[in-house]
Amino acid sequence: MRRIKFLILTIYVLLFCCAINAQQNGKTFVHIEHADHQVYDEAYGKGVERLIGNVVLRQDSTYFYSDSAHFNEKTRYFDGYGHVHIKVNDTTDIFSDKCKYSGDKKFAELFDNVVLKDDSTVLKTNYMTYDRENHLATYPRHGSIARNDKKLVSRKGYYRDDIQVAYFRTNVVVTTPRSRIITDTLEYRVKDEKILFFGPTTIYYDDYILKGNYGWYDAANDIAYLDRRATLSNQGYSLTADTIYYNRKTEFAKAKSNVYIVDTVNKAILEGNYGEMWKNIGKAFVTDSARMRYYADKDTLYQHSDTLFFFMNPETNKAERILSYYNVRFYRRDIQGKCDSLSYVVSDSTAKMRGNPIIWAENSQLRGDSINIVTANRSIDSVLLYPNGFIIQKDTIEGFNQIKGKVMTAYFKKNELDHVYDDGNAETVYWLREEDGSMIGINVSQSVAMDIKIEKNQIVRIKYFKKTTETLYPKEKMKPGAEILKGFEWLEELRPTDPDDIFRKPKKVEDNTGSGRRRGRRK
């Protein structure tokens, strides 16, 4: 009797030690909780037990349900068939038609109609593996994850049920009520409803397309951020930058570094290193090395200012106004200019220059306290200088032809000065020459108003109105300085010389006391 008791005690000790050893090696037993029938049949393999009807197996706190199973208690391995259900924990359940499970590795293979449910997250595929140790579900072929109103589909995918994070690879498509996302690699943080992108990505909205390479999408708030060269575009407009932030709900976009806003309808490009756009109010701006390119068939106008504002109709997306502040400078081969602020209205093709404005065209310089430019067919039609208009032209050989008055309107043909109407205290100085260039004299005149005809950038005829005085002086009899009208300033040093020179900041010229103008050297 003592021997029997000793033998039983020894067996219990050995079993206990084996259990302790198994626990220390991370291995635990797989227990049979229930089966309607248990059949031992070596036809299914040595040591394999066939379980039939309402099969319930358990390892640790995880339960395995199936219609039937082939179970090897020694190897802790079983195959489950029909209505397979793995209850991982209180929130995670896995379903399939068939499974293979290794109790040693705590690793399951699931086949056909596989569904993983974790709270409101549902993963579906036809083949999946599940690693209990790492809480990792993997599908290597094709699968989808749906959560509330979002669905993610990819060729390969991974899901961590402990931290509720999914990883997708190859041909990834995300569908939400407001967008459709196509990418190569992404991470989906389920609790935060945040999607991280790790490859080329395109987000399709109803009327916009957002493209980039890396970034994230906040599905709960419909906010996207893409970098490594991103583009937000619709019909007629596009915003491109190194990084773009876009809030679909408020229709607000923010762009940083190498920003380009392209208006293909009006053939305009806004550039800078920082920009913002509000589609719902039809407003955009760029700053930090801001430049606008207004391109035509023959030539392109380049304009720089501290900040460029672009206004469009939010319903039609058609451009309405462009505002430029401050330190405005522009260049085109046939015309250049500078001022402190400039506004351009698309509907009437009118530009308004304010704050010490100057225009240069060929060898002419046009100034006024304010300047309005009217364009037609992408060419200058007329320029209004008021008050204190002053036009200076270089003579073909020496000196300067000058036109001065309170209000002056300069008319252009083919972007060349054609004639000028000078109204109010009109004054002129021009160098009169023979056809061979020889000097006749210097004509000085004053009148209430004048109509001045110009050909080949030279004054050829003046029509006077009302009170007029006119004197032709031989050059050698002109008093020193008499050939220069009061307020004369030839400001060639301020003139932009090429598309990149618009970024140059010339040295300020001191204000001319009492005249409101800046002082320059008389030549």
pLDDT in the model for residue 352: 96
User: Distances in Å between the alpha carbon of 178 and those of 95, 196, 222, 475?
Assistant: 31, 18, 8, 78
Output the pLDDT for position 230: 97
pLDDT in tens, 471-482: 888 988 888 888
Q: Which of 20-34, 128-142, 412-426, 496-510 has the lowest mean pLDDT?
A: 20-34
| pLDDT of 297 | 63
pLDDT digits (tens, 9 = 90+) for 193-232: 999 999 999 999 998 999 999 999 999 999 999 999 999 9
Give the DSSP H/E element, type plus range, for residue 326.
strand 319-332
Q: Tell me what the mean pLDDT of segment 273-297 comes to.
A: 90
More confident position, 19 or 465:
465
The overall pTM is greater than 0.85: no
- Each residue of 77-102: pLDDT tens digit? 999 999 999 999 999 999 999 999 99
Burial class, 129, CB count within 10 angstroms (exposed 0-12 / middle 13-18 / buried 19+) = middle
Q: Return all residues near 19 (Cβ < 8 A) that are at least 6 apart.
A: 29
Amino acid in position 449: A
pLDDT > 60? residue 399 = yes
Residues 308-351: tens digit of each pLDDT: 998 988 888 788 999 999 999 999 998 999 999 999 998 888 99
Residue 153 has pLDDT above 90, yes or no: yes
CA dist 58 to 16, 68, 87, 106, 387, Å?
A: 19, 14, 10, 11, 94
Mean of the per-residue pLDDT values of the chain: 88
Considering only CA atoms, which of 393, 401, 469, 457 is closest in space to residue 429? 401
What is the pLDDT averaged over residues 41-54?
Answer: 85
pLDDT tier at 260, thresholds 50, 70, 90: very high
Mean pLDDT of 370-389: 91
Q: Does residue 6 carry a pLDDT above 70? A: no
Rounded to 5°, angle at Cα 74 from 69 and 80:
15
* 138 vs 12 pLDDT, higher one: 138
Q: Which of 121-135, 162-176, 327-341, 407-421 has the lowest mean pLDDT?
A: 407-421
pLDDT category at 513 given cuts 50, 70, 90 is very low
For residue 76, the Cα-to-chain-centroid distance in whole angstroms is: 56
Place of tokens 């270089």: 394
Q: Above 80 in pLDDT, residue 138? A: yes
Using 50, 70 and 90 to split pLDDT, how confident is the model at 382?
very high
Residue 53 vs residue 26, higher pLDDT: 53
Q: Categorize the per-residue pLDDT at 303 as very low, low, confident or very high, splitting at 50, 70 and 90.
A: very high
Better-predicted residue by pLDDT, 209 or 417: 209
One-letter-per-residue 3-state SS of 290-306: CEEEEECCCCEEEEECC
Predicted confidence (pLDDT) at residue 446 exceeds the cutoff of 70? yes
Whether residue 515 has pLDDT greater than 70: no
Residues 365-385, mean pLDDT to the nearest whole number = 91
Mean pLDDT, residues 252-267 taken together: 91
Closest CA to 76 of 14, 19, 37: 19
Mean pLDDT of 99-110: 97
Cβ distance 101 to 77 under 8 Å?
Answer: yes
What pLDDT does 210 receive? Answer: 96
Whole-angstrom Cα Rg for the chain: 41
Tell me the residue type at 242. Answer: D
| Confidence grade of residue 25 (pLDDT, cut at 50, 70, 90) | low
Q: Average of pLDDT values for 258-286?
A: 91
pLDDT at res. 5: 40
Residues 436-445: b if buried by 16+ CB within 10 A, e if exposed:
eeebebbbbb
Nearest-5° angle of CA 160, CA 82, CA 107? 35
